[in-house]
């Protein structure tokens, strides 16, 4: 159950206590109208990671939004924050992440909403939220609604084997027009704890798989940009002026293809 004093996210998926197969996305109409007026051809989603209590989501989002607002208030106000039920044990949360992406995809493809008119969809994820982002990008590339997708992935809690050629999430990255991955070798969350739980949680990933967020691997033919955030810990990205500047710069492009994108 959501707390009465918790900040409402712009898009809410399911209930905080849930059954994954029954997840649905709710978009708050007044937020969507506000964003659509500012940039009707571009929408941006900001997705939190695993284990974030609903009452803590506003604090996580707020730190990054504050950094963005210092550079450009219009950009900060145009981001749609996404709340998904991540407060669960790690293994079931992986399944919830995939179902959350499906719920988002259904909402983005709803003909009653203005998303289908968008030329661009920018997806900003953190930790396991990057898995939601990649799953969503994969689904949208298979759908009639196919905007240019631009990914900003902060500390992806995604095993490297899932990003290799032929793997589950490889196409989601390589078929996106831009994919920026932020990583840090000082992120202690991606040492022993991540490798142990992923060995237990996911088949086909090998023993003790490395997280993409540790070294930004695979190093070639997946990402359009790799950003080594030396000294960052797992939560440092939420208050990063570097990430904020990259997002603002991307928003300020005058034309969709003003920045280099992946060759066709």
Query: pLDDT per residue over 115-171, tens digit each?
Result: 877 889 999 999 999 999 999 999 998 877 788 999 999 999 999 999 999 888 999
Query: pLDDT per residue over 120-134, tens digit each?
Result: 999 999 999 999 999
Supply the pLDDT for residue 3: 36
178 in a structural domain:
yes
- Give the pLDDT band of residue 200 (cuts 50, 70, 90): low
Q: Domain range for residue 65?
A: 11-251
Domain count, the chain: 1
190 in a structural domain:
yes
264 in a structural domain:
no
pLDDT at 72 over 50: yes
pLDDT at 17 over 50: no
75 in a structural domain:
yes
1 in a structural domain:
no
Instruction: Write down the pTM of the prediction.
Output: 0.88
Tokens 């293809």 belong to which residue?
257
Rounded Cα distance, 184 and 190, in Å: 9
Contact yes or no for 176/139 (Cβ under 8 A)? no
6 in a structural domain:
no
pLDDT at 8 over 80: no
Supply the pLDDT for residue 184: 97
3 in a structural domain:
no
pLDDT at 181 over 60: yes
Say which CATH number the domain at 113 has: 3.40.50.1820
56 in a structural domain:
yes
Neighbour count for residue 81 (Cβ, 10 Å): 24
Q: Tokens at residue 9, please?
A: 């996210």
């Amino acid at each position: 159950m959501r707390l009465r004093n918790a900040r409402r996210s712009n898009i809410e998926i399911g209930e905080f206590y849930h059954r994954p197969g029954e997840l649905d996305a709710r978009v708050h109409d007044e937020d969507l109208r506000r964003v659509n007026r500012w940039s009707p051809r571009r929408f941006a989603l900001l997705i939190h990671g695993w284990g974030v209590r609903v009452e803590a989501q506003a604090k996580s989002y707020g730190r990054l939004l504050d950094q963005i607002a210092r550079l450009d208030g219009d950009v900060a106000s145009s981001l749609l924050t996404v709340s998904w039920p991540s407060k669960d044990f790690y293994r079931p949360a992986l399944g919830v992440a995939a179902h959350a992406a499906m719920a988002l995809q259904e909402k983005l493809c709803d003909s009653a909403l203005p998303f289908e008119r968008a030329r661009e969809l920018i997806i900003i994820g953190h930790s396991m939220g990057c898995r939601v982002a990649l799953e969503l990008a994969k689904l949208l590339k298979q759908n009639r609604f196919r905007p240019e997708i631009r990914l900003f992935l902060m500390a992806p809690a995604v095993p490297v084997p899932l990003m290799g050629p032929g793997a589950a999430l490889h196409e989601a990255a390589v078929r996106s027009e831009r994919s920026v991955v932020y990583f840090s070798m000082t992120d202690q969350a991606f040492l022993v704890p991540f490798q142990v739980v992923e060995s237990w949680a996911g088949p086909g990933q090998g023993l003790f798989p490395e997280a993409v967020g540790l070294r930004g691997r695979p190093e070639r033919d997946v990402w359009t940009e790799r950003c080594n955030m030396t000294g960052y810990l797992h939560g440092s990205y939420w208050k990063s002026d570097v990430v904020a500047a990259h997002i603002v710069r991307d928003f300020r492009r005058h034309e969709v293809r003003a920045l280099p994108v992946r060759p066709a």
